[in-house]
Amino acid sequence: MKGKYTKIIYEFCQKEGIDIPIGFGRNSASHLVVIRYDLERPKLIAKTFFKKEDLHYYISTYLMDLPRNGDGLIPAKVVDFKENLSYQVLESGALVLL
């Protein structure tokens, strides 16, 4: 495993029962991650993000077409391991602090 965040993210996912993709850990991880909840089990997205602009681009490009949950929210969560904060992804793609 490469990098500080790779180990932290890996341990978090194991503790929370989140599936880790096979390719995760090949490259050093950044502090922003996306976890999808539209699958049978929660799943970490293999790509991590350093800049929030890149994260927002990913959300607008890849998550906006996901079916909404019962509350009309996108079934995904963003975790910032640098700031130790979690965010829910709103229908508009915006993030709200949990």
Check residue 63 and give its pLDDT: 95
Check residue 23 and give its pLDDT: 85
- What's the rounded mean pLDDT across residues 56-85? 94
- What's the rounded mean pLDDT across residues 49-55? 97
pTM: 0.92
Q: For the chain, what are the domain ranges?
A: 4-97
Check residue 71 and give its pLDDT: 84
Percent of the chain predicted with pLDDT > 90: 83
DSSP notation for the chain: --SHHHHHHHHHHHHHT-B--TTTTSS---SEEEEE-SSSS-EE-S--BSSHHHHHHHIIIIITTSPP-TTS--SEEEEETTTTEEEEEPTTS-EEE-
1 — pLDDT class (breaks 50, 70, 90): low
Give per-residue pLDDT as tens, 16-41.
Answer: 999 999 989 888 899 999 999 999 99
- What's the rounded mean pLDDT across residues 6-17? 96
